[in-house]
Amino acid sequence: MKEKVIALIEEALNVPAGTITENTLIADVEEWDSLAHVMIIGELEEKLGIVLPLEEAIELTGVKELFEKAGIE
Amino acid sequence: MSRIAVLSNVNMNFVIRMLGKEAEVYQAEGYGNELGTLMNPASSYHAFAPEYTFLIMDLMELLEHELEPETAKGKIQNWFGGLEAALKPEVIYYVSDAYLWGVELAAVFEPGRKAALEQLWQQELEELCRRHGNVRMLPYRHLIESMGETTAFSMKMWYMGKILLSNEAQKLLCGLILEKLKIETRTPKKLLVLDLDNTLWGGLAGENDITPIELSEDHTGLAYKNLQRVILQMQRQGVLLAIVSKNNEQDAMEILEHHPHMVLRGEAFAAKRINWQPKHENIRDIARELNLGTDSFVFWDDNPTERELIKEMLPEVAVPDFPDKPEKLAPAMVEIYKEYFAKSSITEEDRKKTAQYAANSARQELERKAGSFEDYLKQLEIVMTRVNPEKHMERLTQLVNKTNQFNLTTKRYTQGQMAEILQDEEKRVYLYSVADRFGDNGIVAAVIVNLGAIGAVSKRVGSGKTATDEGFLDLLGLQGCPVVEEFVMSCRVMGKNIEYAIMEDVEADLRESGYAFLRGMYLPTAKNQPVAELYDRLGYRRLEAEECGNAGKPESDGNVCGNTGKPESNGNVCGEPTGRVYEIELSKAPKRLHQVKVIREA
């Protein structure tokens, strides 16, 4: 599932595969702006059924945190 | 790439970002100030100057959650009033129709309130579209309905970033916008050629004793009936239909005229070829009869061998695939409609099209009966009316842009450019509708005359010199005298010498305004051979290159070319080796053979 999530993020950001890792922080990726962030949250819900509560989705800072909050092993 | 703007009262940045791959998109400054953006002449929107502007409006936001009908009505009317004041003729606008959505709607007691509020928007939008030929409706509502509210909207994205639609819905909206852009920019096809057996119905005609054809109110028969319903709707919107089918004509006609479930009756078709001739020959024959180019044809047949034959013999004909299951027929036809035939707007001309072509066949019958050509023309009782082009700008633009055969210069214009021409005092636009005893052909011909800029006055009678005086040769060209820049006539009315009446009317009008000379030009294309000799037939004199002044100055490659012969935008005329310039002295214009009664509308 982790690979699927990372691939989905890379596709949404339109960046080459391998750019995003578990340690990536949102602030470090230029393409990951607030609009892209909303898109990613939407894609996670629509495509993978991963639903983050609103506040957590807004305050998310990086990929590892996403995995933890969504309970992805 | 088209230049487009997407304005909204909700966050559309994702849609704008996606569209950026396919078009040049205006980078909106936020959202929710769409009217301010349109109205402010100093806005970056106007600096960007989009050709197409899409207004995607969320009704709930626009109403500010005010659901009382009277208050809502006021807000909606205000918005449309503001939009109308900001419209520019050179821009095409698409405005979304309404889908009202919001959390409190489920708690509204009256079940009809949502529809009533949406209807207020709909009514204003429809009226705006009627008043302005450059405003069209974007079927946003249908997009939401076909997805369903729960998949189309996303409350979470709304809370996070004022993004109303789910990612999926935003992608579909993007597709809808691109589909409309495509329709705006491609030339639509005109005629759909249909097979009968296993195409319009299941099974084979003429074998009813053994197995009846499949066409009914249920099962596979209903799938065929639904296909016919789609085709009938297309026909009512101006798509011409033809049958090219290998059958015994009697068997097929029996079904066409009498089968209780036929939706398409005989009169729905502009031409029929039910015989055993090769299909490409029948198609060529139809093209001749209806005076259409086969490149405006789409061929639909269940038999792959026939489709291959047409692709081979008539590569200019579009041959879409045929679905493998009857239930896919109707949806496939809808796709064909969108791909080849859909237009950005439907005019009155389109609605009457098949009847007009059918009347043409009756005219041909009369031609056979009448003795001489002149008698025939007389019996037609042709009446031509010069109408006000400003009232019919949409038709004018359509006519100029889609006429290929009877088109002397083959320039194309956007609606905006046409609006400018109508305002230009140096241009005169003549637009004609034609009727005869068999029916009204509608608006079928247009002439645009450029009166010439600086030197025009010296060409007028009373200057004491004629244009052929030596000293005036240089004025003769570019600026010296009025030039027919554009002369188009629909192929529906060709062959009745109506063009003679048109030019006599234009010449008379220019003479009345004091002009002594008129020039015309012929710029050849692959299609306009039929009018290659038009000016010769009209009695105009061919100008030699050196006589043309600026208008006919030979380029280094020896072509007749010049400012009058050079369309400003596409500039492809200079390369044409046989472009010709003609001139006539208006007082010496001959009387030509025609039987047209001319009315000048006030």
A45 chain-B contacts, CB cut-off 8 A: 154, 156
Q: Is A38 on the interface with B (CB under 8 A)?
A: yes
Does pLDDT of B405 surpass 80? yes
Helices (H), B329-435: 329-336, 348-351, 353-369, 373-380, 393-402, 415-423
Cα–Cα distance for residue pair B180/B343, rounded to 1 Å: 9
Does pLDDT of B550 surpass 70? no
pLDDT digits (tens, 9 = 90+) for B462-490: 444 444 443 343 444 444 689 999 999 98
* Local structure of B343: helix, strand or coil: coil
Confidence at B602, pLDDT banded by 50, 70, 90: low
- Which of A41, A43, A46 shows the shortest C-beta gap to B160? A41
Does pLDDT of B47 surpass 80? yes
Strands B52-56 and B24-25: unpaired
Cα–Cα distance for residue pair B18/B5, rounded to 1 Å: 13
Q: Is B30 on the interface with A (CB under 8 A)?
A: no
Q: Which two tokens stand for residue B442?
A: 């509608």
What are the CA-CA distances from residue B298 to residues B192, B242, B275, B314, B317 (Å)?
Answer: 5, 10, 19, 11, 6
A56 chain-B contacts, CB cut-off 8 A: none
Confidence at B569, pLDDT banded by 50, 70, 90: very low
Does pLDDT of A68 surpass 80? yes
DSSP B449-497: EE--SGGGGGGBTTSSS-TTSGGGHHHHTTTTS-EEEEEEE-GGGTTSS
Does pLDDT of B167 surpass 90? yes
A43 chain-B contacts, CB cut-off 8 A: 167
Other C-beta atoms lying within 10 Å of the C-beta of residue B463 = 14
Q: What residues does B51 pair with on adjacent strands?
A: none
pLDDT digits (tens, 9 = 90+) for B186-235: 889 999 999 999 999 999 887 665 568 999 999 999 999 999 999 999 99
A35 chain-B contacts, CB cut-off 8 A: 11, 13-14, 17, 161
Q: Which of A8, A14, A31, A39 to mutate against chain B (most B CBs within 10 Å)?
A: A39
Q: Pick B585 or B579 by higher pLDDT.
A: B585
Q: What is the mean pLDDT of residues B148-169?
A: 94
Strands B517-522 and B52-56: unpaired
State the burial class of residue B226 (Cβ atoms within 10 Å of its Cβ: 0-12, 13-18, 19+).
middle
Tell me phi and psi for residue B444, to 5 degrees: -130, -5
Distance in Å from the first CA to the final CA of chain A:
8
State residue B555's pLDDT score.
Answer: 39
Q: Is A54 on the interface with B (CB under 8 A)?
A: yes
Q: Pick B365 or B518 by higher pLDDT.
A: B518
Q: Is B17 on the interface with A (CB under 8 A)?
A: yes
B167 chain-A contacts, CB cut-off 8 A: 39, 42-43, 46
CB contact under 8 A, A35 and B17: yes
- Which of A38, A43, A46 shows the shortest C-beta gap to B160? A38
For CA atoms B90, B346, B292, B233, the dihedral sign is: positive
Q: Are B120 and B67 in contact (CB under 8 A)?
A: no
Q: What is the mean pLDDT of residues B270-289?
A: 92
Q: Which two tokens stand for residue B504?
A: 């006599």
CB contact under 8 A, A38 and B166: no
Confidence at B144, pLDDT banded by 50, 70, 90: very high
pLDDT digits (tens, 9 = 90+) for B221-255: 999 999 999 999 999 999 999 999 998 888 899 89
Q: Which of A35, A45, A51, A52 to mutate against chain B (most B CBs within 10 Å)?
A: A35
CB contact under 8 A, B167 and A39: yes
Q: Tell me B294's DSSP state.
A: G
Does pLDDT of B380 surpass 60? yes
CB contact under 8 A, A39 and B156: no
CB contact under 8 A, B168 and A54: no
Give the mean pLDDT of chain B.
Answer: 86
pLDDT digits (tens, 9 = 90+) for A5-55: 999 999 999 999 999 999 999 999 999 998 899 999 999 999 999 999 999
State the burial class of residue B224 (Cβ atoms within 10 Å of its Cβ: 0-12, 13-18, 19+).
buried
A39 chain-B contacts, CB cut-off 8 A: 14, 167
Which H or E run contains B171? helix B167-185
> Please, which residues 115-174 of chain B have a Cβ atom closer than 8 Å to chain A?
154, 156-157, 159-161, 163, 166-168
Confidence at B289, pLDDT banded by 50, 70, 90: confident
pLDDT digits (tens, 9 = 90+) for B441-459: 899 999 999 987 434 434 4
What are the CA-CA distances from residue B509 to residues A40, B380, B429, B445, B587 (Å)?
Answer: 66, 25, 11, 16, 12
Question: Chains A, B: CB contacts under 8 A, how many?
Answer: 35
Cα–Cα distance for residue pair B56/B10, rounded to 1 Å: 8
pLDDT digits (tens, 9 = 90+) for B71-128: 999 999 999 999 999 999 999 999 999 999 999 998 999 889 999 999 999 999 999 9
Does pLDDT of B385 surpass 90? yes
Q: What share of chain B is helix, strand, coil (3-state, %, to 5)?
A: 45, 20, 35
Helices (H), A1-73: 2-13, 34-48, 54-59, 63-70
Domain edges within chain A: 2-70
B154 chain-A contacts, CB cut-off 8 A: 42, 45
CB contact under 8 A, A41 and B17: no
Confidence at B505, pLDDT banded by 50, 70, 90: very high
Q: Is B14 on the interface with A (CB under 8 A)?
A: yes
- Which of A34, A45, A46 shows the shortest C-beta gap to B161? A34
Q: What is the mean pLDDT of residues B258-262?
A: 92
Q: Which residues fall within 8 angstroms of residue B12, CB to CB, at 6 or more apart?
A: B6, B28, B31, B56
**pLDDT > 70 fraction of chain B, expressed in percent and rounded:** 87
Does pLDDT of B20 surpass 80? yes
Q: What is the fold, at CATH topology level, of the domain defined by A2-70?
A: 1.10.1200
B147 chain-A contacts, CB cut-off 8 A: none
Q: What residues does B135 pair with on adjacent strands?
A: B93
